[in-house]
Structure 1
Amino acid sequence: MRLRTQITLLIVSSLLSVLFFFSVFTYYTFVRITTKSEIGVLWNAAQTILSLPGIRTPEQWNYTGWLRSSLMPQELIRIIDPHSNIKLQLQTDKELSQIPAQFSTQTFSKTLKTSEALMVYIQIPISDEEQHTIAVLQLGRKLDALDDYLNVLLAVLSFTTAVAALLSLVGGMYFARIILRPIHELAQIMESIQKSGVFKRVVMPPSKRQDELGRLIHTFNAMIGKLETNFFQQRQFLADASHELKTPLTIIESYANLLKRWGGNDAKLREEAIDAIQSEASRLRNLTHTLLSVADPESPSTEEAAAFDLEELVLTTAASLQHAFHRDITCEIRLGQKMMHGNADKIKQLLIILLDNAIKYSDERVIVTLEPDPRDAGIAVLKVIDRGIGIEAAHIPRLFDRFYRVDQARNRSTGGSGLGLAIAQNIARAHRGTISVTSSPGLGTQVTVMLPLG
C-alpha cells in the first residue's frame, strides 16, 4: 500500500472515530437530558395525585372521575394492588398499556423503548394512615415529540458524518499529496542521480526550512554536496596520481629501450641511462610511499598511540635535518617537560614535511617554535617559519589538496609531488589537531600546527 493511501486512510479513520464517538455522546446526552426532564414532570404530577383524598381509599379506585382532571395528553395513570392487579387505569394512548404492571415497594423511574414509541414511567408506593403499602401509583408518558426529534437528530448526525467522511477523504488525499511531494521529488532525484550519475539537489522553499521535511531535504542536499565533492576529489586524485606515475614510468621505459638498442657499446650513454632510471625509480618509490601515506587511515591505531616527549622529538628531528641539508634551523622551545599522547612517528613525519618545504623554498634560516597555547595549556602550538619566496593568498586555501602545487615546474624541479601538506593535515587531524598556513610573497611562510597533548 502506498504511503499516500496510508496517510489518507489514517486521516479518514481518525476523523470518523472522533465523529462517531461525538455523535454517540450527543445522541445519548440529548436522550438523557430530555427523559430526565419528562420524568421530573411525572414526579411532580405524582405528588399532586398523592395529595388527593381518594387515593388512599380502595373503594374510590373503582371510579375514574376524580382522577380524570389529572390526566395529561400522552399520559398513563395506574393504581396497582399488591397482587400486581391493575385496580385503576386511565390512558390517552393505547401504546402506553405496554408499560409493565408489577407491584414493588421501591420508588423508581424507567425508560421503555418499543418498536412503536419511546416511553418513560415512574412508580411510587401508596401508604395508608399506618404507613402500610396498600398499592403503587404508576405514571407513564409517551414521548412522541422526543422520538421525532431523535429521528431528526440521528439523520443529521448520520448526514454530517457521511459528509465529513467524504470531505476528509478528499482532504486527506490532497494534504497527503502536499506533504509527500518533497519526498516524491527526493525519490525522483535519487533515481535520476542513480541513472545519470549527475549530482542534483532538491529545491527547498524558505517556508519549509524549519519543519521535519525541510530538515530532511537540507540533510540530503548537504550529503549530496559532500558526495559530489568527494567524487570530484577522487577523480582528480586518480588523474593526478596517473599523471605523476606516468612520467617516471615513461622515462624508465624510454631509457630501457635506448639501452636495449644502442646502449651496450656506448659507455657514456649507458651511464646516463642507468642514472636516469635510478633517479626515476627512486622518485617513483618516494611517490608510491607518499600515496600509501595519504591512503592510510587518518586516526592512529591503538597500538601506535603512546606517550612521548614532544620537545625532544622536535629538537632531534630539527637537528637531523640541519645536518642532512647543511641548513641553519633554530629551535625556540618553551613548552616545558610535557608529554604528548599519540603516534611519535607520525608527528615526526609531519615535522619533516614542514621542514622539508621550508628548506626547499627558502635560503635563509628556518625557525621552529614550540610553546603552549595561551588560551589552553593542554594544547601545544608548533610553528615552522621561513623567510622564503612565500605564497600568494589565492593559493593558500588549496595548499592541502592532494597533488596541488603552486608552481608545477618549480615543484617538479624540487622533487615535490603536492602530497606533503595533505599528509601533514591527515596526521594533524588524526591527533585531533589543526594545521594552518599564513604567507606573504617575498616575505616567507609560517605553518602553525596545534596539537592536544592529552
Structure 2
Amino acid sequence: MKIKNKIYLFSTVTLLIILLIINSSIYWLFAKVTTDGELDRLKQEALHITDGLNQEGVEKIDPATLLQPYLPTNGMLRVIDADSRAIVTQEADGDEPMPRTKPHFERKATDGQFEAKGMEYGFVKVPVIWTDGRVMTLEVTESFARLQSNLKMLKNVLFLASLFVLIPAFFAGRMLSNLILRPVNSMIQTMEDIQVRGIFKKIPLEHQSKDELYKMGNTFNKMMDLLQQNFEKQQQFVSDASHELKTPLTVIESYAKLLKRWGTKKPDVLEESVEAIHSEAVRMKAMTNQMLLLANNSAEWNLNMQRMDLVSVCQTAADQLTNAYGRTFQLVSNEESVLVLADEQKIKQVLVVLLDNAMKYSSDAVEIDVGIDQEHVFFSVKDSGVGIPKEDLPQVFDRFFRVDKARSRDTGGTGLGLSIAKRIVDAHEGEIQLESEEGKWTKVTVLLPNEERGV
C-alpha cells in the first residue's frame, strides 16, 4: 500500500473512531439525562397523586373518578393490591393502546423503563394507602415517544455533523499527503534519473523553510555534493595513480628491452639496466603500499594506543636523521616531557614524513617544537625553505599533489606522504595545520588530544 493511501486510511479511520466515541458519549449522556428527568417527573406526579389520595373525604369518591384528574397524557394509572391484582386501571385516550404488563405489588418505591412493540415506556411505583385503609401500589406508566423522537433527531444531527467533518477531513488529508510526499516523490525521481543517466543531480527546493521536509531535501543535496566530490577525488586519484605508475613502468620496459638486446654483450649496460629496474621497482612498491594505506578507512586502522613521551620521540627521530644525513635539527620545548595517549609507531611515521619534507626543501637547520596548548599537545616542524604559495595551501594534503615550482619528481617523492600523515592524525582524532610564506619558511603543526586535561 502506498504511503499516500496509508495517510488517507489512517487519518480517516482515526477521525471516524474519535467521532464515534464523541457522538456515542453525547448520545448516551443526553439519553440518560433526559430519561432520568422523565422518571423524576413521573415520580413527582406519583407523589402528588398519593398526597391527593390521603386527603379527607376521598373515601366517598369512586376510585375511577378519583384517579381521572391525575391521569398523565399518553399514560396509564394502576392501583395494585397485595395479591398483585390491578383493582383500578385508568388509561389515557391515544392512537396506540398502552401495553398491559403483568401487575406486581411493591412495598417500596421503584422506577424503570421497558420496551413494547418498538416503543419505550417509563413507569414509577410507589406505596399508597387506599381509601379502605389497605396498602396498595400506585403505578404510573407513560410513553416515552417524545423522548424517542428527540433521541432519533439527535442521532440524525450527529450523523450529519460527522459527515460534514469527515468529508472535509478526507480532502484535507489528501492535500496534506500531497504536501508531505511532494519532496519524497521529487527525491525518488531524482534518484531514478541518477540511476538511469549516471549523473549527480539535486532536488529543486522551491521554498526555503525550517520544516523537516526542507531539511530532508537539503540534506539530500548536501549528500549529493559530498558524493560528487568523493567521486571526483576518486577519479583524480585513479588518474594520478595511473600517471605516477606509468613512468616507472615505462622505465622498466625500456631498460628491459635494452637488457634483452645488449645485456649479455655489454656488462655496463647490464649493470645500468638492473640498477634502474631495481630502483623503479622499489619506488613502485613504496608507492603501492602508500596507496593501499590511504585506501583504508581511518576507523579500520588498528591503533596500538599507549602512553608515550613526545619530547623523547622527537629527540630520538632528530638524532637518527642527524646521524643518517648529517643535517642539523633543533628541538625546542619548555616541557621536560609531554605525555600523550597515541600509537607511537604511527606518530613516528608522521614525524618522519614532516622531517623528510623539511630536509628536501631546505638546506638550513630544521626546528622541532613540542609543547602543550590548552586542550591539546602538539609538535611542529619548521624549515626555512622555498615555502608554498598561499593559493596551494588547501591542496597540499591531497593525494599526489605537488606545487609545480617547489615540488619536482626528483625531490617530491610520490606526493602521498602528507596525505598519509593527515590520515594518521585524523585516526588519532587530532588536527594537522600548515602555515607557509613563499620563499621563506613552512611550518606544519600536529595537534593531539591532551589526555591529562580530559581526566
Global fold match (TM > 0.5): yes
Q: 2:124 aligns with which of 122, 125, 129?
A: 122
How far does the alpha carbon of each residue in 1:388-407 deviate from its partner, in whole angstroms, 9 at most, with x for none?
A: 11111211111111111111
Identity %: 33
Matched residue, 2:202: 201
Stretches of structure 2 that go unaligned for 5 or more consecutive residues are none
Counterpart of 2:428, as a letter, is H
- When the two structures are aligned, how many residues end up with a matched partner? 449
**Match runs of 1:48-197 below 5 Å:** 48-53=48-53, 63-92=63-92, 93=94, 94-127=96-129, 134-197=135-198
Equivalent position SS for 1:445 = strand
Does structure 1 residue 387 correspond to structure 2 residue 389?
no
Equivalent position SS for 2:432 = strand
Matched residue, 1:246: 246
Counterpart of 2:332, as a letter, is E
Equivalent position SS for 2:382 = strand
Equivalent position SS for 1:195 = helix
Change (3 A) 1:315 1:359: same
Counterpart of 1:290, as a letter, is Q
Q: CA RMSD in A?
A: 2.9
Matched residue, 2:426: 429
Deviation at 1:362, TM superposition (A): 1.6
Query: Aligned partners of 2:345 and 2:63: how far apart in 1?
Result: 123
Deviation at 1:203, TM superposition (A): 3.6
How far does the alpha carbon of each residue in 1:175-227 deviate from its partner, in whole angstroms, 9 at most, with x for none?
A: 2232222222223333333333322333445555333x444444434433333
Equivalent position SS for 2:313 = helix
Query: Aligned partners of 2:102 and 2:151: how far apart in 1?
Result: 24
Preserved contact between residue 49 and residue 55 of structure 1 (Cα < 8 Å): no
Preserved contact between residue 300 and residue 343 of structure 1 (Cα < 8 Å): no
Does structure 1 residue 407 correspond to structure 2 residue 404?
yes
Preserved contact between residue 75 and residue 141 of structure 2 (Cα < 8 Å): yes
Deviation at 1:424, TM superposition (A): 0.5
Deviation at 1:286, TM superposition (A): 2.6
Matched residue, 2:9: 9
Preserved contact between residue 390 and residue 440 of structure 1 (Cα < 8 Å): yes
Query: Aligned partners of 1:411 and 1:100: how far apart in 2?
Result: 119
Deviation at 1:387, TM superposition (A): 1.3
Counterpart of 2:416, as a letter, is L
Counterpart of 1:152, as a letter, is M
Query: Aligned partners of 2:300 and 2:26: how far apart in 1?
Result: 72
**Match runs of 1:230-269 below 5 Å:** 230-262=230-262, 264-266=264-266, 269=269
Query: Aligned partners of 1:151 and 1:360: how far apart in 2?
Result: 100
Equivalent position SS for 1:30 = helix
Equivalent position SS for 2:193 = helix
Matched residue, 1:316: 316
Deviation at 1:14, TM superposition (A): 0.9
Stretches of structure 1 that go unaligned for 5 or more consecutive residues are none
Query: Aligned partners of 1:127 and 1:19: how far apart in 2?
Result: 51
Counterpart of 1:426, as a letter, is R
Change (3 A) 1:133 1:343: farther
TM-score (norm 2): 0.89
Does structure 1 residue 447 correspond to structure 2 residue 453?
no
Q: 2:395 aligns with which of 398, 406, 410?
A: 398
Change (3 A) 1:10 1:443: same
Preserved contact between residue 119 and residue 142 of structure 1 (Cα < 8 Å): yes
